[in-house]
Amino acid sequence: MKEVNLIPDDPSSAECIKQLEQEIKILRQLHHPNIVQYYGSETVGDHLYIYMEYVHPGSISKFMREHCGAMTESVVRNFTRHILSGLAYLHSNKPIHRDIKGANLLVNKSGIVKLADFGLAKINI
């Protein structure tokens, strides 16, 4: 879940809301095993909640830190296959992620990698 504090009449908050609305619009359209699943969103008072799939234990960045940067070739191959599969699906549906990095690539306990954080994504027309 992503929680955002909404501040009325604040230009930076308005820009943040616009970016989050774009992220929600994109996530709503995407259904693929290598993309974090979007479940819904709601505004309660001055908070926006975005509900998404929980991917544990976390990011590839975290995985690298915990394993001292060491990964076997088979793990790298598996991660790469999942990332490319998610990107191929994403691009076939027109969005471009624009922020692929270890912190935005989540890996679950089964070793499945999922693309996350579509805050900078744009629809490619």
Average confidence (pLDDT) over 18-27: 89
Residue closest to 55 by CA, chosen among 4, 13, 95, 103: 103
Bond before 33 cis per omega within 30 degrees: no
* Per-residue model confidence as pLDDT tens digits over 77-114: 999 999 999 999 999 998 889 899 999 999 999 999 99
Which residues are 106's β-sheet partners? 59, 114
Where in the sequence numbering do the catalytic residues fall? 99
Provide the CATH number for the domain formed by 2-123 in this structure.
1.10.510.10
Give this prediction's pTM.
0.87
- Tokens for 69, please give them: 């940067």
- Write b or e for each residue in 89-112: b if 16 or more Cβ atoms lie within 10 A of its Cβ, otherwise e: bbeeeebbbeeeeeebbbbeeeee
Whose tokens are 């693929």? That residue is: 32
What letter represents residue 84's amino acid? L
